[in-house]
Amino acid sequence: MIRKIAVLGGITKSGVRETLRMVEIYPGEIVAVVGPTGSGKSQLISDIEYWADGDTPSRRQIQINDQVPAEFAVETSLRRLVAEISQNMNFVIDMSVRDFLLLHAESRHIENALEVAKAVVDCANQLTGEPLMMDDSLTALSGGQSRALMVADVALLSNAPIVLVDEIENAGINRLSALRLLAGRGKVVLVVTHDPLLALLADKRIVMQNGGMAKLLTASPSEKVLAGRLQKIDAVLCELRERIRLGGELTPEAIKEVTWPDAQRVSA
Amino acid sequence: MRLVIVAGPPATGKTSVMLHTLRHILTDKIRVAVCKIDCLETSDHSTYRRLSLPVMVGLSDYICPDHFYVSNLEEIFAWGEKQQAEILVVETAGLCHRCAPGIKGCLSICVVDNLSGIDTPKKVGPVLTTADVVVVTKGDIVSQAEREVFRRRIEMVNPAAHVLEINGLTGQGALRLKKVVLASPSIEGVEGRELRYPMPSAVCSYCNGETVIGSRYQMGNVKKIVYREVSND
Ligand SMILES: Nc1nc2c(ncn2[C@@H]2O[C@H](COP(=O)(O)OP(=O)(O)OP(=O)(O)O)[C@@H](O)[C@H]2O)c(=O)[nH]1
Ligand SMILES: Nc1ncnc2c1ncn2[C@@H]1O[C@H](COP(=O)(O)OP(=O)(O)OP(=O)(O)O)[C@@H](O)[C@H]1O
Ligand SMILES: [Mg+2]
Ligand SMILES: [Mg+2]
């Protein structure tokens, strides 16, 4: 049972100690990782995926329940505790969706592999536009289809207690449904994002700067209210997006009918 | 001296991985020498020189680089001893992967990358199946699921191997390889030692420089193709 994951601070890209010396994350929490491009967001989640022990460019060390990973479990079990959606938009591996999912299930010691594989494909198809098939070649999938499959694979097949997500907002899939799917109950979830809505929906956020963890913020009540409003605005945007991408035209009447959430001021 | 053999398909990251690993080893003030075996050309020596190490290059030219490597192991070992190296790394370029350079009693590392195709672990053959350590590079370019599937394929053909994922660009993972290298046995010499896998005989006329095509020009150990109809399944 994971009770806590701790990231012990290492060094920034300039080689000096990073500001935050320790960040603790508990099951059930969603933590956003924000920062400019190149500030080390992907490196931070890759450190967790790798169970860094001072041996990555950031020199961070990851602990689990106050223990070093090697004391907590053997390497093969440790690997299975983490599921990661990396920033890669496409598959490189050349095999069919079916073979890939079956082999992935085997590597994760999953028993009813074929059933799970089917569920993954169904789930991916709910996230994406044009459906993908079991017999499709992975490399022929579009960027969005690939991302949808990666999300479904992490959510249903890997189903790990620690979930790491690197920028799902750019894939043309519904990022909120994707996040809901990924952030199952009681999981440790880290989400790298440039999206204000995703960042504010999280419980905490780590601010990255020059490769180091510079700040840890807890979502304030007023930020939560703002997140609620952003979510409503987002729903309108999503609805418009769907209409436009299905070939719809927006007549002056249709535009008039778009209802925006009221513009009241947000007070703390 | 510890003899460490590093092999694997071209451009998988052998030099990049060893550079990071040796950098870690050198911080312990351990003396290291490197020998690179290739066919026609290599620039690896200048890369290794960046660590200020004694580096030697052996080019096999018209001979199979793996056969060339075995025939010269004693000389390479003697050179390493002359450098007073505690660790001698031999990076070989192996061409067809039908040969494996591994030696019984010495650490054998095979480097493959995540981009080389899902059937590569099966195709690479003895160089991978006889290795103690299989290093997988270029994980930064693929998804976690792909890395897991690729690793699974490796474990299927070499269940005993220690599989290490190393990023040849950042060096992430190289400290783990350092530990394995330092834990490997030291040997007194290579004479009398055995290869882990026999190298196939290749003494035909083309080995000796023949260029003209046709049975009339073929001598020595010639193996003719056996036809087999391949059906679409
Ligand atoms: N993205 C990425 N590139 C890598 C990685 N490892 C190596 N490379 C790149 O791959 C190329 C080949 O790396 P080398 O280390 O020269 O490979 P090698 O196996 O020694 O090559 P030969 O000696 O020529 O057979 C270089 O451009 C490296 O920068 C990695 O983990 N990720
Ligand atoms: N603490 C660190 N020390 C040394 N190098 C680092 C550190 N953090 C990150 N890097 C390196 O800096 C580069 C950029 O980092 P990274 O890819 O994590 O940025 P990012 O915030 O994810 O950017 P983007 O928003 O563009 O995805 C990488 O090569 C990474 O290995
Ligand atoms: Mg990134
Ligand atoms: Mg090389």
∠ CA A155-A159-A160, rounded to 5°:
125
Distance from CA of A54 to the nearest CA of B (A): 9
Nearest by CB to B141, which of A56, A82, A88?
Answer: A88
Q: Judge whether B91 lies within some domain.
A: yes
CB of residue B114 inside a 6 A radius of ligand 1: no
| Residue A57 at interface with chain B, using a CB cutoff of 8 Å | yes
Q: Which CATH class is domain A5-218?
A: alpha beta
Query: What is residue B105's predicted lDDT score, i.e. its pLDDT?
Result: 95
Q: Judge whether B120 lies within some domain.
A: yes
Q: Once rounded to an integer, what is the mean pLDDT over residues B181-189?
A: 96
Q: Once rounded to an integer, what is the mean pLDDT over residues B172-192?
A: 95
Query: What is residue A226's predicted lDDT score, i.e. its pLDDT?
Result: 93
Q: Which segments in chain A show pLDDT lower than 70? A: 262-268
Q: Which atom of ligand 2 is the closest one to the Cα of A10?
A: 1
Q: Which of A58, A61, A69, A53 is nearest to B179 (CA)?
A: A53
**Number of structural domains in chain B:** 1
B6-20 pLDDT per residue, tens = 999 989 999 999 999
pTM confidence score:
0.90
B137 CA to middle of ligand 4, Å?
13
Q: Judge whether B187 lies within some domain.
A: no
More reliable by pLDDT, B200 or A100: A100
| Residue A88 at interface with chain B, using a CB cutoff of 8 Å | yes
Q: Residue B15 is part of a domain; what is its CATH number?
A: 3.40.50.300
Q: Once rounded to an integer, what is the mean pLDDT over residues B61-89?
A: 91
Query: What is residue A265's predicted lDDT score, i.e. its pLDDT?
Result: 56
Residues A88-123, buried b or exposed e (16+ Cβ, 10 A)? bebbbbebebbbbbbbbbebbebeebeebbebbbeb
For residue B213, with 0-12 CB atoms within 10 Å meaning exposed, 13-18 middle and 19 or more buried, which class applies? exposed
Q: Quote helix, strand, coil % in chain B, to nearest 5.
A: 30, 20, 50
The tokens for B130 are: 């006889």
Q: Once rounded to an integer, what is the mean pLDDT over residues B204-223?
A: 77
User: Which residue is closest in CA terms to ligand 2's atom 8?
Assistant: A211
| Residue A108 at interface with chain B, using a CB cutoff of 8 Å | yes
Q: Which residues pair with B164 in a beta bridge?
A: B135
* Beta-carbon separation of B117 and A94 below 8 A: yes
CA-nearest residue to B119 within chain A is: A94
| Averaged pLDDT of chain B | 90
Query: What is residue A27's predicted lDDT score, i.e. its pLDDT?
Result: 96
Give, rounded to a whole angstrom, the gap between the first and last alpha carbons of chain B: 52
Distance from CA of B13 to the nearest CA of A (A): 18
Instruction: Determine what percent of chain B is predicted with pLDDT higher than 90.
Output: 66
Q: Judge whether B52 lies within some domain.
A: yes
Query: What is residue A80's predicted lDDT score, i.e. its pLDDT?
Result: 92
| Residue A137 at interface with chain B, using a CB cutoff of 8 Å | no
Q: Once rounded to an integer, what is the mean pLDDT over residues B202-217?
A: 76
What ipTM, to 2 d.p.?
0.90
* Cα–Cα dist B146/B99, whole Å: 28
Is the pLDDT reported for residue B114 higher than 90?
A: yes
CA dihedral (A124, A128, A133, A137) positive or negative: negative
Distance from CA of B167 to the nearest CA of A (A): 10
Query: What is residue A170's predicted lDDT score, i.e. its pLDDT?
Result: 78
* Cα–Cα dist B36/B55, whole Å: 8
- Choose the mutation target among B20, B123, B144 for the interface with A, i.e. most A CBs under 10 Å: B144
* Beta-carbon separation of B146 and A91 below 8 A: yes
Is the pLDDT reported for residue B28 higher than 70?
A: yes
pLDDT confidence tier of residue B207, bands split at 50, 70 and 90 = confident
* Cα–Cα dist A134/A150, whole Å: 14
Query: What is residue A268's predicted lDDT score, i.e. its pLDDT?
Result: 43
Is the pLDDT reported for residue B123 higher than 80?
A: yes
Give, rounded to a whole angstrom, the gap between the first and last alpha carbons of chain A: 37
* Cα–Cα dist A134/A122, whole Å: 10
The tokens for B153 are: 């394929």
CA dihedral (B166, B171, B173, B175) positive or negative: positive
More reliable by pLDDT, B201 or B47: B47
Distance from CA of A58 to the nearest CA of B (A): 10
User: Which residue is closest in CA terms to ligand 1's atom 2?
Assistant: B138
| Residue A78 at interface with chain B, using a CB cutoff of 8 Å | no
Query: What is residue A222's predicted lDDT score, i.e. its pLDDT?
Result: 94
Q: Are strands A204-209 and A212-218 parallel, antiparallel or unpaired?
A: antiparallel
pLDDT winner (highest mean) among B49-63, B104-118, B200-214 = B104-118
Helix intervals (H) in A34-142: 41-50, 69-72, 75-80, 97-107, 113-127
Q: Which ligand is closest to the CA of A59, given by its number?
A: 2
* Cα–Cα dist B107/B94, whole Å: 17
* Residue ranges lining ligand 2, Cβ < 6 Å: A 11-13, 35, 37-43, 57-58, 87, 208, 211-212; B 170
Q: Once rounded to an integer, what is the mean pLDDT over residues B136-160?
A: 95
Q: Which residues pair with B69 in a beta bridge?
A: none
The tokens for A1 are: 């049972």
Nearest by CB to B146, which of A53, A92, A158?
Answer: A92
- Choose the mutation target among B17, B137, B149 for the interface with A, i.e. most A CBs under 10 Å: B149
For B31, the domain range is: 2-182
A55-64 pLDDT per residue, tens = 899 999 999 9
Distance from CA of B165 to the nearest CA of A (A): 9
* Cα–Cα dist A216/B104, whole Å: 53
Nearest by CB to A107, which of B142, B151, B175?
Answer: B151
Q: Which atom of ligand 2 is the closest one to the Cα of A208?
A: 21
More reliable by pLDDT, B229 or B120: B120
CB of residue B138 inside a 6 A radius of ligand 1: yes
Is the pLDDT reported for residue B82 higher than 60?
A: yes
Residue ranges of domains in chain A: 5-218, 221-268
| Residue A139 at interface with chain B, using a CB cutoff of 8 Å | no
- Choose the mutation target among A11, A42, A48, A55 for the interface with B, i.e. most B CBs under 10 Å: A55
